[in-house]
Structure 1
């Protein structure tokens, strides 16, 4: 659901179909729980790890997991460092100018503000957001002063230490930081952004896209995708 603002259009035509011998390198950030994170065994974990492994198994493919910083995740897909992006990335028109997407595997969901107080100045104050996201773009256009950081954890820390009045991010990702009796509370209204999350691919990888689309459709139809979403995001999560 994070929304990268593209700066790498010039790389769009680099790297053709790279997956071979039924091995698919799955690119993720590893720093956006519960979508993806690194567990105590130093392995990629989370909703997208479980989903990606299931997609590969059902499609007769073998997944290999690769982590990459968010701000360069599209350029490194285009340069062939991995074959997919499965990293909480929303499907947007801007991204589709450079890469392709499968159908969404997570429905459109809300972005939200979290702050030290419910009446934080969201339109005129300082708001933190992760660099290279449409949440950051939204803040920049809102009238607030945008303060960008490399990771979600850094944006939350900026509010806790007083650098920012609020943080703006995917509500699902912020929810673990907004707990009863904790340092942060919800502030303002939810903001709908994006068209759901899909797997990013190079435009040339049409065969891989078709394989994943077929399995995602199957998992939507049999309810197993919804079960996985609820497992990782709770009963209140958006489902298909």
Structure 2
């Protein structure tokens, strides 16, 4: 299972490398929720994450994330101690804001600095998926997981909209041409008439089929009797006995 996870991670990293030029060594922004989940699952981020991604990296956090951990007191005391060991990425907030808001501010302009986001926060995860080129890390079943590229990162949403608009345009052109050539739209066929013709054809097929089936008076298929062939000499002996 571990080998399979690493192969999947390699394919995802290769996609981000070729599409968004996110290369090693990676820069990973970590928040308190991710750190807390790893501590509860006894997962050492500094040891296991580089092994999982098979690359060197820089683990980072922001002053806002640290301030949020301090505000929660003993609940996030452990994550605060761990995050204090990471590189500090200075943000533009003069007054501390929520960790999710702070980290999102660093990626929302197209993730120009090529950051990874490591979080368990649902709001930050959703915003990361809605931003192109943001690799998302989370913890599940005591394993660090690199999420597959979202539809936004793949450009599927934009492509689907373009295709839909193109089809709508083509349909409109066809309808306009039809009006020019045929004039007003032809009257819709009478539903009752169509239903009558359909029922008549069905009844005719049934009658034709019934004619080809031999039946007795009771309406049951007759079973043909097999005639036994008797030799000439046997018939002659039988005739003599009667006389």
TM-score tier (shorter): under 0.3
Whose strand proportion is higher, 1 or 2?
1
Whose helix proportion is higher, 1 or 2?
2
So what's the TM-score if we normalise by structure 1?
A: 0.27
Greater C-alpha radius of gyration? 2
Higher relative contact order (CA 8 A, sep 6+): 1
